[in-house]
Amino acid sequence: MEVIRVTGGARLRGDVTVVGAKNSALKLMAAALLAEGRTVLHNMPRITDIVIMAEVLRRIGCAVDVTDDRVEIDTPAELGGEADYDLVRRLRASINVLGPLLARRGYAKVAHPGGDAIGSRGLDMHIAGLQRMGAEITNEHGYVVAHAERLQGATIWLDFPSVGATENILMAAVLAEGTTVIDNAAREPEIVDICQMLTAMGARINGAGTSTLEIEGTDRLRPVTHRVIGDRIIAGTWAFGAAMTRGDVTVHGVNPEHLAVTLDKLTTAGADVTRYESGFRVRCERRPQAVDMVTLPYPGLATDLLPMAVGFAAVADGVSLITENVFDGRFMFVNEMSRLGADIRTDGHHAVVRGKEQLSGAPVTATDIRAGAGLVLAGLCAEGVTEVSHIHHIDRGYPDFVTQLADLGAKVERVRVPDDSFSL
Ligand code: UD1
């Protein structure tokens, strides 16, 4: 098995460019199902999730070609309707084919992804929204099975601004009959990206980026060429990394507005932040000050940056209160970060973090994508060597993470070590 071996002490310095956002790219691939013909997506991240999503689409009947940062999808007139558990369990975002398939084909059978390492992750809002539009939905042997002659526009109030539910309902509504209103919709930049692509395809959408999306259904959409927005979570990871290591990093390829809260928090903590049109610079000469942080749906601090926020607090000067409001299992990684000497106490969805001047290198295990990146950053602030295992998680969200870290001056490498799996 491979691990990431980090030797602490380096300050991150230099320039780094982020790729297209995974959380947008995967959904844009699902959106390609809505129009017969060839969709071309640029600036796609080179990660396994894209390869798995390509396989999901192939099984539905598309021809998909993934080359470098470009993905071409040929969507046929007649689609299959099923996404199997063997793929969905590897890629939760496969659930995003539910809305487009139901809209195009009137039938979809998609494996229920279940919970995962960051929490229980329900589908009730996806299902209730589509039912409100006239779909008949049952849960059969671990699959969500949906039927609808023609979806009808409806007014849908989401209990929580769920990103996935907003996307599924949105992608169903663009081909429904009549007008759909999604109230308390998610406002994430990735939703705006999807809305822009759907609009170019001929969809009629008002309110992208606000809490109320109004979608006037149409009979037919056309395929387009689209460029994915920059990944704000990777960019935010670099921002925290620069500040934690008292470094100086300029990040390119992302709209700094998409990280407004993160950059503001880092400024409060004592970092020097400069915003550019398509990037930003974070410089921190001294040890950062502790600062309280709260994750919330966009425009709040992204829950995907929680492990970086906790890692940052673990080396900041003072005590930080970090609150997680989106996923019930997001603090799973805390035990691993504590192995590096971080002083973290959790109680429900709060963590009290008492910052230390330096952490202490140790072997740790990545529990999910973002936790893995957070542990690597913590390793940069630890005396001695930290080995992060289960790095397939990190590879899912951070293409070329180790190379980019090394380019910024970190002492880091991927190393093969004997497999640690065993059975009792
Ligand atoms: C997406 C992102 C993920 C990010 C999250 C929140 C992708 C592939 N993943 O996940 O990286 O952390 O948004 O920004 O884009 N919920 C329900 N019922 C539902 C739907 C959601 O209870 O029907 C709950 C979830 O369990 C969770 C919360 O709502 O507690 C937010 O989930 P949601 O916004 O839907 O996240 P995802 O779309 O799964």
Give the domain-ending residue among 196, 212, 227: 227
Q: Where are the alpha helices (DSSP H) in 276-351?
A: 306-315, 334-339
Q: Which domain holds residue 175?
A: 22-227
pLDDT digits (tens, 9 = 90+) for 258-271: 999 999 999 999 99
Q: What is the pLDDT of residue 117?
A: 79
92 C-alpha to ligand 1 centroid (Å): 10
Whether residues 10 and 28 share a domain: the answer is no
230 C-alpha to ligand 1 centroid (Å): 20
Query: Atom 5 in ligand 1: which residue has the minimum CA distance?
Result: 163
Q: What is the mean pLDDT of the chain?
A: 95
pLDDT digits (tens, 9 = 90+) for 243-259: 999 999 999 999 999 99
Q: What is the pLDDT of residue 418?
A: 86
373 C-alpha to ligand 1 centroid (Å): 20
122 lines ligand 1 (CB under 6 A): yes
Q: Mean pLDDT across the stretch 83-96?
A: 90
Q: Which amino acid is at 318?
A: G
Q: What is the pLDDT of residue 115?
A: 67
pLDDT digits (tens, 9 = 90+) for 13-64: 999 999 999 999 999 999 999 999 999 999 999 999 999 999 999 999 999 9
124 lines ligand 1 (CB under 6 A): yes
Q: Which residues are tagged catalytic?
A: 116
Whether residues 168 and 283 share a domain: the answer is no
Return the HEC string of 60-102. Answer: HCCEEEEECCEEEEEECCCCCCEECHHHHCCCHHHHHHHHHHH
Whether residues 185 and 241 share a domain: the answer is no
Q: What is the pLDDT of residue 120?
A: 78
23 lines ligand 1 (CB under 6 A): yes
pLDDT digits (tens, 9 = 90+) for 370-423: 999 999 999 999 999 999 999 999 999 999 999 999 999 999 999 998 876 655
Give the domain-ending residue among 200, 227, 254: 227
Task: Give φ, ψ of 193 to 5 degrees.
Answer: -60, -45
Does 338 score more than 70 pLDDT? yes
Distance separating alpha carbons of residues 357 and 243, to the nearest angstrom: 13
Q: What confidence tier does 83 reach under pLDDT thresholds 50, 70, 90? A: confident
121 C-alpha to ligand 1 centroid (Å): 6
CATH number at residue 65: 3.65.10.10
326 lines ligand 1 (CB under 6 A): yes
